[in-house]
Amino acid sequence: MNDSSQPDALVIGSGPAGLAAAEVLANAGHTVWLVDQMPSLGRKLLMAGKSGLNLTKEEPTSVLRSAVTPLAPQLDAALHLFDSEAVKAWAESHGQPVFTGSSGRVFPTAMKASPLLRSVLASLVENGTRLLPRWRWVGGLASFEFETPHGPVTVRPKATVLALGGASWPRLGSDGLWVKHLPTNPFEPSNMGFFVAWSPHMAIHFGAAIKNVALSVGKQTWRGEFVITARGVEGGGIYAASAALREATKAGAPVLTLDLFPDLTIEALAGKLARPQGKASLANHLRRTIGLSGARMAIIREAIGPDLPQGHELALLLKALPLRTEGPFPIREAISTAGGLRMDALTPELMLKDCPGVFAAGEMLDWEAPTGGYLITTCLATGRMAGQGAADWLKHR
């Protein structure tokens, strides 16, 4: 490939961050190549929308930024410039009206990611962007070397945005193999389930959801729900607590505390339990007075044993039930990752300090956030910041 056919800008990775960066560059009038190692583009966005594309969360920008940790200055600036209102406006600019659910989570009316992805890719092509699937980056940070369906290719762009993803979902392209080329902090799983060594009697409850529960790790508490599985626990409530539980596990305290009645005080719960039991068994008494049965009862017996205390002592346990976990599910099964490209290796514009003209964005950066729209919003925000940084770099050259 000769230099006359080289692009102004190269974007590697077609997740939300890469799409956002390519869009900014193309809209600025630059020739852009958007490459991805997978057979089709935008696969992680499509997977994110499999059960409803949660684009963002409608809340003050300060709350949005507080969900991202560690909040490096570059991330803070990116989210200040491209917050939840901007995400909604962006989706609507692509013909995808949005709605806000009761929890504040924002979805496209179509729910799926495919209409939005089609619109973004179509607009990129209309602006002259080349979409190049099955291009795997194998090295180089000035001359970029790729393995392609047509053999090895060297690309010498004037500016580059790396949007290579983290180390979760390797089957979608986020395999983390790029770490050998860049300064990183080790990857760790984020928004993942945890192993629990269940007793055999729990088998009949695998797949059961424990709803309306408060989960605590140390002094931090989250409201949500989770699912009992053959290997342990997972689901929204577990994902919210996952970072804290991961760190507690490292410290040798892998205990998740469950409040099974978060809407009742200990006194109110004890009052219900104090109602006359009569000739009813304890199990029937608990079912009648506080609605305790099935998987919820099973998880209590799993934590406490077959002999349950009564009265106020039982109320105390139901409000702070200890569940010992045995470590997180593997990183390849995590929704996202912590760790990645060190933020101190980047300028305020997300350019690599040691590689002028090379910018980075998205989940490959060292940050993490819970599910609920924070992940996609931060990827879009950093993608736009990196894309704008690359556009400004090109403007002055």
pLDDT tens readout for residues 239-273: 999 999 999 999 999 999 999 999 999 999 999 99
CATH topology of domain 3-189+333-395: FAD/NAD(P)-binding domain (3.50.50)
3-state helix, strand, coil in the chain (%, to 5): 40, 25, 35
pLDDT at position 50 is 87
Name the band, by pLDDT with cuts 50, 70 and 90, for residue 281.
Answer: confident
Q: How does pLDDT run across 177-188, given as a tens digit for each residue?
A: 999 999 999 999
pLDDT at position 2 is 39
Instruction: Mention every residue, 6+ apart, whose C-beta is less than 8 A from residue 313.
Output: none
282, pLDDT greater than 90 = no
Length of the chain: 397
Write down the mean pLDDT value for the chain: 95
Distance, in Å, from the CA atom of 313 to the CA atom of 88, rounded to the nearest integer, reads 49
What does the pLDDT average to over 31-57?
94
Any long-range contacts for 317-322 (C-beta under 8 Å, 24+ apart)?
318/259, 318/260, 318/261, 318/269, 318/290, 318/292, 319/259, 319/260, 319/261, 319/266, 319/269, 320/216, 320/257, 320/258, 320/259, 321/257, 321/258, 321/259, 321/260, 322/255, 322/256, 322/257, 322/258
Distance, in Å, from the CA atom of 332 to the CA atom of 192, rounded to the nearest integer, reads 10
Amino acid at 298: A
Q: Which residue has the tokens 């300064």?
A: 183
Percent of the chain at pLDDT exceeding 70: 99
Distance, in Å, from the CA atom of 129 to the CA atom of 353, rounded to the nearest integer, reads 27
Name the band, by pLDDT with cuts 50, 70 and 90, for residue 51.
Answer: confident
pLDDT at position 5 is 83
pLDDT at position 280 is 87
Q: What is the largest CA-CA distance in the chain?
A: 90
Q: How does pLDDT run across 96-127, given as a tens digit for each residue?
A: 999 999 899 999 999 999 999 999 999 999 99
Which residue ranges make up each domain of the chain? 3-189+333-395, 194-324
Q: What is the dihedral of CA 55, 59, 61, 67, to 10 degrees?
A: -70
